[in-house]
Chain A
Amino acid sequence: MAARGHVQDPNDRRLRPIYDYLDNGNNKMAIQQADKLLKKHKDLHCAKVLKAIGLQRTGKQDEAFSLAQEVATLEPTDDNSLQALTILYREMHRPELVTKLYEAAVKKVPLSEEYHSHLFMAYARVGEYKKMQQAGMALYKTVPKNPYYFWSVMSLVMQAISAQDEKLAQTMFLPLAERMVEKMVKEEKIEAEAEVQLYFMILERLGKYVEALDMVRGPLGEKLTSELQSRENKCMMMYQRLQLWPECNALSYKLLLKNPDEWQFYLSYFDSLFHLMDKSWSPPNEEEHCVEGPVHTTVAEAVKFVVDRMEEEDKKDSRPLRGPYMACLELIHRLRQRGCPDEEELGDPLELMLQFFGKFGDKPCCITDLKIYLHLLPPEQHTQFENRLGELVPLGEVGEDGFGFPGDTKALQRHLCVCQLSRVLGLQHTLDTEGKLCLITELKAHYHYGLQFGKSCLKTELQFSDTYCLMVAHVYIDLWTETGDENMLWQCLGVLEEGLSYSPSNAQFKLLLLLLFCRLGAFQPVVDLYSSLDAKHVQHDTIGYLLTRYAGSLGQFAAASQSYNFSLRFFHSNQKDTSEYIIQAYKYGAFEKIPEFIAFRTRLNQSLHFAQVRTERMLLDLYTEADMELTEEHRRLSLEEESVWLKVRSLTLRLLASLALLGHAPSKRNSDKTNENGVSAKSSTLQTLLSQLDLTLQTAAQITEKQTQYPFLGPPSSRLASALSSGSCHCQASALQLSLTLQELETTGLDDSSELQTQICNSFKSLIVQLQELLSRCKGDVLEMKDSRLMTQPSLLETLVFFVETVCVVLWVASYSASVLRPLKSSLQKKKKKKTKDSSTAMPVVLSGFQEWTGSLQGIVTQALDHVKGQEASLTALKLAALTLGVGHAQTQEECGFTRAAMDKVQTSYLGSLQELGDLLRKRADSLKSLKF
């Protein structure tokens, strides 16, 4: 046994139990064990670091850090300590310290491949590209392995990508990277495919397309084997960049013969064809057109090519491909764009689309395919098209209700496709109210009939007829927005709830419900829906922002903070994850992915934009409507609005924070004159922030003047407009402004400040008036029954939240006021005692004014609480069961049940919001009591 080559380090054995405790999450025991060990072995640094990890994980960050620094300053070179410190620093989110650690280790052990490589990775984690380049080279000089050399090259490319100055990238970083690779090429040292890919990346970024093309076509290109068609794709890219249309055309043609379903090559085939025609290109000689083979230069050739492809498909016994038929429509579209008369040779678009429907109508994708080319049909053909499509749908005998139904899922899918097309063509929108209600009846009948085909579906599967249900919901929304009849909205909610009961994993139902509940201001069901959506990862960003928009504004503070936490955790963990995988990409030579990873990380970091764009897309995907166009203008305005709102909020937050800071250091203000500098520095921060807030509010006012109306499925408008119109922004700003005046009083004192005092007292009074006005805007019923109809006013709830928020801000300022006034008062009393004889000293105006103010604030809060209580009482008293539903429309008992369930949810949610608001107000009211003196 003794002859065993590898002898275990005794320290490893000693440390093992600590590692185990840490692994099992038993941090306390780990700390104890480390202490024990350190008593015996004072110099066992790693034990210290492991103890620090234990401390860090039990929330003792400061202790952990100083312990770690004890070891770090010794510049350890043992693996255990280094690795443990790396883990610790990572958990502390201090990756930059890891670089210091290995910089020292590399100095002490300059020949260690391992430490050099750790150093490189440590730099990669913090994105120090320049140092990565050097570390990579140092590594290569220590151990001449190709990957190390190319790490260095890639780090140059990253410097180019991240350079602020594009010129620097083009004249320095990239040419240097190119020369480094060329050197290896000349010495015939290129080994791996990754190295060739990196070379290509460099040439491409340098705009050296000819060189890139030669390289890919040459011997180096032979290494590009992992990715399918890697060489062809890269050549194609270069042909397009170089506008080598003959080659582009010939290669597309070749690839399409091989695979007539590859859409991207149809596009490049057509693009190149028309470019060649515009240039009246002709082949240099008859035999060979270009290196890639024969080139098409006439419409006739293209028409024949496409027609041949379709005929090939027609002849096939197996499933036909969609590509050639779509290519035919695409070619017509392009010819028409050019005003070229030859499109007739391909046929009538109407007939071609009918043919397409005949072949693929039973596939759900038929609608997304045809949608792109509907513009080829003139409006007067739309109805004809719909009717002809209808003829191709096999439906059963017409029953008592006047409808015929499909006999199987294929027929159902065809029927659905026709319904969807008619919506996309706008035919449903032209119907009047009666027509739309009839349409709803028909779609509902189909929906219910179709459910029989999905009886054996698993819970995770969608029902075949779900789309009917979704369409019903959208027609209801049309009716609601057109007529304002809230009944339509309730029925819409009902039908979606019903759909969800049969198809519990349908995300489109959930998203639409989520949106509607949000608009109704009923946040509780939204939370359930969101969690049942099982939103993952990026979706926290893309859908989550809807939650964060509404949760807070509807008084569901607990839910709001939960959803903020979700999102924050997602952003934080991704910050870390992305860095780890950037490092992995270096290790495996996936150089092309590195810029993508980094771009992704940047994107997450700038997420306001990301979130919005994605949400809009996702909501748009819910359903595409002919008349719903979310324009670029809408996107821009929405982003602008959200950004300004964000600015208002963050300024308010910073103002409150600096107030808190001022309030906490009250003791020194009288005695310590030297502190004045500090105070004035703080007050100037306050001033700067206040003037920024003022400016932002001005911008905000300009934006809201435009009164942008977003489409229903577009982004929700931000809270900005209502925050401004309710007066809450203005009231908060004037409260914060008051704190500045109070600061002035603090330095002036009570004796020579009568003007200032009057000014403060006026502000007190004006704030009361503003709050009173804000509160009066909250009056009314959020939910009420009128003529056996249920009506909502969610905006009242939002205003109430603004009121509560504003009360909170005012109370912050009030407690700051108290902290300023209290010492002034007590020094006054001291003076009084000294001059007991002089009884003429009246109470200063500002003190009596403050007393009066807190009294009025108390009064307003009590009023608000009464209002909340009253609303709670009237909500509880509402008996939804008394509503007669389905008046005028044939709603079954079951359908009424679902509608009622939706109403219940709204009612319960409103109650929940009111309770939370009431609780918050009560707590704040308590804090008021402590302000009196």
Chain B
Amino acid sequence: MTTLRAFTFNFDICYNNYGIPFYLQYLAHWPEYFIVAEAPGGELMGYIMGKAEGSVAREEWHGHVTALSVAPEFRRLGLAAKLMEMLEEISERKGGFFVDLFVRVSNQVAVNMYKQLGYSVYRTVIEYYSASNGEPDEDAYDMRKALSRDTERKSIIPIPHPVRPEDIE
């Protein structure tokens, strides 16, 4: 059980994975896409952060999952699924065609979880992740799930050839 609330910019930030500017940027632009889950004792359970982007004309307007994080002691409770569901709902309301996310190809646990939630691999992005020294580190899967506006589910037809990070929008 959880209290789901909007991210407020104060102590929440202390559990961060990214720099403060990164969060500020998202909060300034897409505050509705930033949701925090809190346990009854006040512990932070996890959060999701995302954005809406892409061209409507080209049917590429979509929701994007930038970060999804659940604290170790609150895993296997279905919290990630709940947060993803909320992000999808927000994207539905914004009239998005799909929701997408990037995940390390090696992160089988996450890939499987997203598959269970209805996501499929749309394409592979070569060397999307880089190590802290700037060297290319690992490929990413670009995974997508069609929303109701994409009635023919065109947006999720896989692209067979891998792409480079500079070629994605």
Name A's B-contacting residues (CB within 8 A).
Answer: 225-228, 230, 261-264, 266, 319, 321-324, 326-327, 330, 363-365, 368-369, 371-372, 462, 536-539, 542, 574, 577-578, 580-582, 584-585, 587-588, 590, 592-593, 596-597, 599-600, 603, 614, 618
Least distance between B3 CB and chain A CB atoms (Å): 4
Docked complex Cα distance between A592 and B27 (Å): 10
Query: Are the C-beta atoms of B27 and A585 separated by less than 8 Å?
Result: yes
Q: Which residues on the A side are within 8 Å of B11 (C-beta)?
A: 614
Which of A538, A582, A592 sits near B31, CB closer than 8 Å?
A592
Instruction: Report B-chain residues with C-beta under 8 Å of the C-beta of A322.
Output: 1, 77
Q: Is B8 an interface residue (CB 8 A)?
A: yes
With known contacts A228-B86, A262-B3, A597-B9, A371–B28 Cβ distance under 8 A: no
A227, A263, A597: the one within 8 Å of B24 (CB): A597
Interface centre among B11, B13, B17, B75 (most CB of A within 10 A): B11
Name the interface residues of B66-91: CB closer than 8 Å to any CB of A: 72-78, 82, 86, 89-90
Inter-subunit contact A539/B14 (CB<8 Å): yes
**Residues of A contacting B72 in the complex (Cβ-Cβ under 8 angstroms):** 364, 462
Q: How large is the interface on B (under 10, 10 to 19, 20 to 34, 35 or more residues)?
A: 35 or more
Which of B1, B30, B43 meets A261, CB within 8 Å?
Answer: B1
Give bound CA distance, A584 to B24, whole Å.
9
Residue of B nearest to A366 (CB): B73
Q: Let me know if B73 and A585 touch, CB within 8 A.
A: no
- B4 partner residues in chain A, CB cutoff 8 A: 262, 264
A542 to B24: give the CA distance in the assembly, Å: 19
In contact, A596 and B8 (Cβ under 8 angstroms)? yes
Given contacts A228-B90, A462-B72, contact A581 B28 (CB under 8 A): yes
The 4 closest A-B pairs by CB, nearest first: A323-B1, A581-B24, A364-B73, A584-B28
Chain A interface SS verdict (over half):
helix
Instruction: Out of B6, B19, B31, B77, name the residue touching A363 (CB < 8 Å).
Output: B77
Chain B hits for A228, CB < 8 A: 32, 35, 86, 89-90
In the complex, whether B94 has a CB less than 8 A from a CB of chain A is yes
Question: Quick check: A590 and B13 within 8 Å, CB to CB?
Answer: no
Contacts of A368 in B (CB 8 A): 39, 41, 43, 73
Chain B interface secondary structure, helix, strand, loop or mixed? mixed
Closest to A225 in B: B93
Interface residues of B (CB under 8 A from A): 1-6, 8-11, 13-14, 16-21, 24-25, 27-32, 35, 38-41, 43, 45, 72-78, 82, 86, 89-90, 93-94
Q: A262-B4, A363-B76, A593-B9 are in contact. Are A542 and B43 (CB under 8 A)?
A: no
The answer to whether A263 touches B3 (Cβ under 8 A) is yes
Q: Whole-angstrom distance between the alpha carbons of A368 and B25 in the complex?
A: 33
Asked if A365 contacts B77 (CB within 8 A), the reply is: yes
A261 touches B32 (CB 8 A): no
Contact B1 A577 (CB under 8 A): no
CB distance from A228 to the nearest CB of B (A): 6
Q: Assess whether A596 is in contact with B29, with CB atoms less than 8 Å apart.
A: no
Residue in A closest to B17 when the chains form the complex, CB atoms: A536
Query: In the bound complex, what is the Cα–Cα distance between A590 and B28 (angstroms)?
Result: 6
CA distance A225 to B32 in the complex (A): 9
Residues of A near B41 (CB, < 8 A) are 368-369, 371-372
A230 to B8, CA, bound (A): 15
- Residues of B close to A225: CB separation below 8 A: 93
Chain B contacts for A324, CB-based, 8 A: 1
Given A226-B93, A228-B89, A538-B20; A581-B1 close (CB under 8 Å)? no
CB closest chain-B residue, reference A541: B14
Residues B25 and A584 in contact, CB atoms below 8 Å apart: yes
Chain B residues contacting A590 (CB-CB under 8 Å) are 27-29, 31
22 examples of A-B residue contacts, CB within 8 angstroms: A227-B31, A263-B38, A263-B39, A264-B4, A322-B77, A323-B2, A327-B1, A363-B77, A364-B75, A365-B73, A369-B41, A372-B41, A536-B16, A537-B13, A538-B14, A577-B21, A578-B20, A581-B25, A584-B25, A585-B28, A590-B28, A590-B29
* Whole-angstrom CA separation of A597 from B82 in the bound complex: 27
Complex Cα distance, B94 from A365, in Å, reads: 35
- Contacting residues, chain A, for B86 (C-beta < 8 A): 228
Bound Cα distance from A173 to B166, whole angstroms:
48
CA distance A396 to B155 in the complex (A): 52
Bound-state CA distance A462–B17 (Å) is 17
CB neighbours of B20 from chain A (8 A)? 537-538, 574, 577-578
Q: Note all chain A residues with C-beta closer than 8 A to B14.
A: 538-539, 542, 614, 618
Question: Are the C-beta atoms of A581 and B27 separated by less than 8 Å?
Answer: yes
Whether B28 and A321, one on each chain, are in contact in the complex, defined by CB atoms closer than 8 angstroms, is no
Return chain A residues, CB-CB under 8 Å to B2. 261-263, 323
Task: Given A584-B24, A593-B31, A597-B9, decide whether A536 and B94 contact each other with a Cβ distance below 8 A.
Answer: no
Residue contact B74 to A538, C-beta cutoff 8 Å: no
Q: CA of A582 to CA of B77 in the docked complex: distance in angstroms? A: 36
Residues of A contacting B90 in the complex (Cβ-Cβ under 8 angstroms):
226-228
How far is B35's CA from A373's CA once the two chains are assembled, in angstroms?
Answer: 27
User: Closest CB-CB distance, A623 to chain B, in whole Å?
Assistant: 13
Give A604's nearest chain B residue, CB to CB.
B20
Task: Name the residue among B10, B24, B25, B77 with the largest chain A CB count within 10 angstroms.
Answer: B24
Report Cα–Cα, A577/B13, bound state, in Å: 15
User: What CA separation (Å) do A574 and B89 show in the bound complex?
Assistant: 33
Complex alpha-carbon distance, A581 and B3, angstroms: 27
A581 with B21, Cβ < 8 A, contacts A363-B77, A365-B77 known: yes
The answer on a CB contact under 8 Å between B40 and A326 is: yes
Give bound CA distance, A593 to B12, whole Å.
14
Contact indicator B19/A537 (Cβ below 8 Å)? yes
Q: Are B74 and A588 in contact (CB under 8 A)?
A: no
Measured in the bound complex, the distance between the Cα atoms of B51 and A584 in whole Å is: 15
In this complex, the member of B28, B39, B76 whose beta carbon has the largest number of chain A beta carbons within 10 angstroms is: B28
A857–B77 Cα distance when bound, in Å, is 68
Cα-based distance from A603 to B25 in the complex (angstroms): 19
Chain A nearest CB, measured from B49 CB (Å): 14
Residues of the B chain whose Cβ atoms lie less than 8 Å from the Cβ of A592? 31
Of chain A, the residue at the smallest CB distance from B94 is: A226
A593 to B30, CA, bound (A): 10
